[in-house]
Amino acid sequence: TLRSYESQGNQVSLNYELNFKIGDKTTTVAVTDTFQTLTDQPGQTGLQRTIKAGNLPEGYALHVGRPQFSASIGSPQITVPHKPDANWLRIPDNNSHEFMQADSPSSGQANLTLNYLCKLKAEGLQVKTKPQPKPEIETVTGAPGFDGVRLPLDGGIMPTALAWREDGTMIFTSLKGDIYLAKDTDGDGVEDELTLFEEGLSAPFGIIADGSDIIVSHKPEVLRLSDTNGDGRADQRTIVATGWGFNDNYHDWATGCIRDSQGNLYVGLGSDYAQMKRPDDQINWRGKILKITYNGNLEILGHAFRYPTGLAINSKDEIFISDQQGVQNTFNEINFLIPGKAYGVPSQSDLRNKENLEETRAAIQVPHPWTRSVNGLTCIPKQFAYDSLFDQGLGCEYNQRFLIRFTTQKVGDTVQGATYYFTRADVPPDEHNFAGPMSVAVSPKGDIYVGSIHDSGWLGGQNTGSITRLSPNGKLPNGIKELRATHDGFELEFFAPVDAKKAADKEAYTIAGYTRVWSGSYASPDSGRYKVEVEDVTVSDDKKTVRLKVNELKEKFVYEVNCHQIGTGDETLFPVTGHYSMNQIPE
């Protein structure tokens, strides 16, 4: 079991444990395995490996094997530098390896140094590059109530998760396996310079700061990254959590890394539902939501997610999880996490063990194709400029290049809610917009940052990305703040008063209901669509809430509720549409 690994200069150290079964007892041997490049071997290149082991049981010695092989080029060899004439041992019934016994300087300890050498030299490749001009700050106009700018950063980044250190430095992961620090170098308040903190990760999709350390989730594990020598690069890597089934399948993501008020972490694992022949030893915990407690224990909280790309937590420690439309998921989803529940797409372990097959409906069925791929989520914190948005959620719609907003309502023993436009989808071609929103977060200063990517595997072209900052400008337009269900219709709450006369007109509203039923294919069409008749309208005394009484409501239907421009004077309302998931009709 790998516990941690470190890098310093031309040296890498792995700290791991080996378990040996001796009789009816398992003995754990702790090993530090260090590799260092060799530069003083005339005519040869190679590595020096130093093995230090502890907790060896009494009466046992550590042996390290080398393969028996013949090579036609390079004259590879494995030697013991301080014992050039040492004899390697043969073990009966093992014809593939020969072994060297490690020294034992004290009881329970073992040390061995090996040189791995060959007579080959890698020729350096010289690449001539042209200096690239520094990107300019671009204005992004699609977010009413915000001033948007695209940060002047290298277009090769593909930001998948964003966070901030205590000193205000933005940190983010890139789909290409990198972690960057982003800083403002000229005092204009816009991050314009990147520092590479870590590289070589496997599709990282979650990041948080923890003091001076950074905690990141990538496919095989959750890692704590530390810079112990102050050079701005990670040199110590400690495994916080691992153990899930993992192989080279593209969808084996570990997503999100959020923290609750008690210091516990939460991550999601992409499902293996479609991999019918996946080996049993590679299916553990796929499609699950994991809780990593502050003392390092792992708990499974949620089951049967497809690809839970976005995780968000609000001020009440309530957790929301996005999931992707396809197969059993007839819509894109925003799920409210209830410990122990399953959410509709059983993994291979669920199917083979015949468990977690009963579906808990998503709190919000996000209409499709209004959205095609909802990914990163965040919840608006209390320090935000528009306090009316506190604890509401934001989500990234990748394909259509906009942000959604979502609210929830507790009805009986279920949680359900609605989604709305947060930014415009109809940005003119001559104006700048998001490239493809994948991640979203709110900075300590109260700005919204949106990480966008353009992935060649999905859309063709080059693998590029960008980060956009949305700063509240005090001009949030009036529009639907929240859409709620009642026992006989809906309530529309607005950010500010509307025109009472316009709002009282039944013709100012159109409502349609529909559902989707999975029939075995990847996509599911709308079904049961019907027009909902508004029978009566009541406007509150403060003119901020409109209650609609309708002729018919149906459970497990999604309702699209539109209002006309019923604002005061010539103001333009935004948004004017809400999409409500009626899992249960209120009593």
pTM here is 0.92
Residues 302 and 191 in one domain: yes
List pLDDT tens digits, range 108-153.
999 999 999 998 877 766 777 777 788 899 999 999 999 999 999 9
Rounded to whole angstroms, the Cα distance separating 208 from 257 reads: 7
Residues 345 and 203 in one domain: yes
More reliable by pLDDT, 333 or 462: 333
Residue found by looking up tokens 């919840």 in the block:
379
Residue found by looking up tokens 């490996």 in the block:
49
Rounded to whole angstroms, the Cα distance separating 350 from 44 reads: 53
Residues 178 and 106 in one domain: no
Is 339 inside any structural domain? yes
Question: What was the pLDDT predicted at 39?
Answer: 79
> Is residue 320 pLDDT above 70, yes or no?
yes
Beta bridge partners of 452: 437, 466
Residues 175 and 316 in one domain: yes
> Is residue 470 pLDDT above 90, yes or no?
yes
User: Which of 318, 422, 424, 322 minimizes the C-alpha distance to 364?
Assistant: 322
Question: What was the pLDDT predicted at 234?
Answer: 97
Please give the helix or strand (H or E) that residue 21 lies within, else none.
strand 11-22
List pLDDT tens digits, range 57-88.
999 999 999 988 777 788 898 999 988 888 89
Is 513 inside any structural domain? yes
Question: What was the pLDDT predicted at 474?
Answer: 98
List pLDDT tens digits, range 254-310.
999 999 999 999 999 999 999 999 999 999 999 999 999 988 899 999 999 999 999
Residues 212 and 96 in one domain: no
Residue that finishes a domain, picked among 310, 342, 367: 367
Residues 155 and 263 in one domain: yes
Residues 59 and 166 in one domain: no
Question: What was the pLDDT predicted at 44?
Answer: 84
Question: What was the pLDDT predicted at 152?
Answer: 97
Beta bridge partners of 38: 46
Mean pLDDT of the chain, nearest integer: 95
Residues 173 and 281 in one domain: yes
Residue that finishes a domain, picked among 306, 341, 367: 367
Among the listed ranges 4-18, 385-399, 531-545, 560-574, which one has the minimum average pLDDT value?
4-18
Question: Would you say 522 and 326 are in contact if contact means Cβ atoms under 8 Å apart?
Answer: yes
Is 272 inside any structural domain? yes
> Is residue 575 pLDDT above 80, yes or no?
yes
Whole-number percent of the chain with pLDDT over 70: 99
Q: Is 294 exposed, middle or buried (0-12, 13-18, 19+ CB in 10 A)?
A: exposed
Among the listed ranges 131-145, 196-210, 479-493, 530-544, which one has the minimum average pLDDT value?
131-145
Residue found by looking up tokens 């709110």 in the block:
442
> Is residue 363 pLDDT above 90, yes or no?
yes
Beta bridge partners of 450: 440, 468
Among the listed ranges 129-138, 151-160, 330-339, 537-546, which one has the minimum average pLDDT value?
129-138
Question: What was the pLDDT predicted at 82?
Answer: 85
Residues 327 and 202 in one domain: yes
Residues 164 and 215 in one domain: yes
> Is residue 578 pLDDT above 80, yes or no?
yes
Is 39 inside any structural domain? yes
> Is residue 221 pLDDT above 90, yes or no?
yes
More reliable by pLDDT, 82 or 202: 202
Is 571 inside any structural domain? yes
Residue that finishes a domain, picked among 367, 390, 421: 367
Domain tally, the chain: 3
Residues 161 and 295 in one domain: yes
What would the mean pLDDT of 219-248 be, rounded to a whole number?
96
377 pLDDT band, cuts 50/70/90, is: very high
225: CATH: 2.120.10.30
Residues 172 and 282 in one domain: yes
565: CATH: 2.60.40.1220
Structural domain span for residue 354:
145-367
Question: What was the pLDDT predicted at 125?
Answer: 67
Is 280 inside any structural domain? yes
Question: What was the pLDDT predicted at 68?
Answer: 83
Is 438 inside any structural domain? no
Is 222 inside any structural domain? yes
Rounded to whole angstroms, the Cα distance separating 347 from 252 reads: 12
